[in-house]
Amino acid sequence: MSVYKEGFYFFEKIRLASQQIFSDAIDFGAPVNPKDELWNYAHQLVEDYLYSKREATKDGGAKCIVKLVDEGTAVEHYIEVKYTPLAPWKNHPSLTSWAKGFKGFVSLTTIENFKK
Closest alpha carbon to 68 in 25, 27, 15: 15
The size of the chain, in residues, is 116
pLDDT digits (tens, 9 = 90+) for 24-53: 888 899 999 999 999 999 999 999 999 999
- The neighbouring-strand residues paired with 50 are 66
What is the pTM for the complete model shown?
0.88
Of the CA atoms within 13 Å of residue 47, those in its CB half-sphere come to: 8
pLDDT digits (tens, 9 = 90+) for 47-88: 999 999 999 999 899 999 999 998 888 889 999 999 999 988
